[in-house]
Amino acid sequence: MSEPIGIEIRNLYKIFGPRGADYVDAVNRGMTKQELNDRYRHVLGLRDINIDIPAGAIQVVMGLSGSGKSTLIRHINRLIDPTSGQILIEGQDVVGMTPQVLREFRRHKTAMVFQKFGLLPHRTVIENVGYGLEVQGVDHAARDKVSMRWIERVGLLGFETKYPSQLSGGMQQRVGLARALANDAPILLMDEAYSALDPLIRYDMQTVLLDLQKEVRKTIVFITHDLDEALRIGDRIALLRDGQVIQQGTGQDIVLNPADDYVANFVQHVDRGKVVQVGSVMEPLGINGTAPAMMVKSDATLTDAVRQMMAKGVHFLEVQDKGGKPVGRLSLERAISVAAGAA
């Protein structure tokens, strides 16, 4: 199994159009996407993106349609060339790679899942799953062995000789996922991989991904415009607007401290009780004399804590860190008011 590796995106700009590089300065000085389009007929794709994605983390990128999510993720394996900036992976700048080096990099370091699946319609499931290995030159028998393992893992056993058009959307995306995983690349890029699926299947596929991540631990960049999905899946979330990162941090950071009205609007309908962890809203120990009888781990959600208090009929919980050391306390009142968005 490959070790996870991190991704550092530095000062990344993308301006679509024949003379994009000429306008980086202007954009830098504050020209907006609208102005750039009106005055110079160039489209601002990305502006000064800086994101550090730690090895083994799931980084979610969110934003409305046209905010530049697809553009951003396609820079990581250079399906799109940037106008300026760097993408550092294992100390190597993807932007400077020669075509051969880039090809090897794509074969062994990254794998991608697409919104509309991007499967080869003339190939069966097993031939699609083995595509990455085939391109690498792995022989037929070895390829099929690995493919079968992943086909089984994503729950498609028995469908390996079917063609994509014979499968439902959810099943096709399982093929897309298996194809990406069969590559055993440390970086997994998912561009709205689940957006085309209906809610139940989508939830199902999120579970598949989270379970897999416990086993194989990859660095995953996951694009979505669904906040619930982002909060469920993402270790970290970056919010894009008009090609710019307007906030990045954990799901809790964004829900509890939205950077501006745009973000606040985005998160206002979230069920905060399911997102916010006890540790981030607890009060210091010992303001109130009586020691709580029950305790809760600091990474439990508020909803869990409230449920526990209701069940036991208590009004306070002691909050403990991972080692079991008491670090604070939580009152029922505070838990409910934060969860309801009142605090």
Partner 1 sequence: MFDEFPQIDNGLLRDLKRAIDEGFRAFTRSYGDAIETMFDPLRHFLNWSEKLLTGTPWPIIILIAAGLAWFASRSARMVIGCVATLCLIGAFGMWDDMMKTISMILTSTLMAIAVGLPIGVLMSRSDRVQAVVNPVLDVMQTMPPFVYLIPVVMLLGIGKVPGLIAVVIYAIPPMIRLTNLGIRQVDGEVLEAADAFGSSRWQRLVKAELPLALPTIMAGINQTIMMALAMVVIASMIGVQGLGQPVLQAISNQYFTLGLFNGLAIVGIAIVFDRVSQAWGRRIQKHRGGHHV
Q: In whole angstroms, how close is the CB of 282 to partner 1 at the nearest point?
A: 44
Q: Is 6 in the site for ligand ATP (CB under 6 A)?
A: no
121's CB contacts (< 8 A; 6+ apart) are 163, 164, 165
Tell me if 126 sits within 8 A of 150, measured CB to CB: no
For ligand ATP, which is the closer residue by CB, 72 or 270? Answer: 72
Q: Is 224 in the site for Mg ion (CB under 5 A)?
A: no
Provide φ and ψ at 40, rounded to 5°.
Answer: -120, 0
Q: Which of residues 153-182 bind partner 1 (CB under 8 A)?
A: 163-169, 172, 179
Stretch that binds ligand ATP, among 59-67, 95-103, 140-148, 322-330 (CB under 6 A): 59-67
Q: Is 244 in the site for Mg ion (CB under 5 A)?
A: no
Q: Which of residues 69-128 bind ligand ATP (CB under 6 A)?
A: 69-71
Per DSSP, 116 falls in state: T
Determine the residue type at 64. Answer: L
Q: Which of residues 222-241 bind ligand ATP (CB under 6 A)?
A: 225
The conformational region for residue 329 under phi > 0 = left, psi -120 to 50 = alpha, else beta, is beta
Output the six-digit token pair for 206. Answer: 């999120």
C-alpha closest to that of 328 among 319, 337, 317, 336: 319
Q: In whole angstroms, how close is the CB of 165 to partner 1 at the nearest point?
A: 5
Q: In whole angstroms, how close is the CB of 35 to ligand ATP at the nearest point?
A: 14
Tell me if 211 sits within 8 A of 183, measured CB to CB: no
Q: Is 67 in the site for Mg ion (CB under 5 A)?
A: no
Tell me which residues touch partner 1 (CB under 8 A): 74, 77, 79, 103-108, 110-112, 114-122, 131-132, 134-136, 163-169, 172, 179, 183, 189
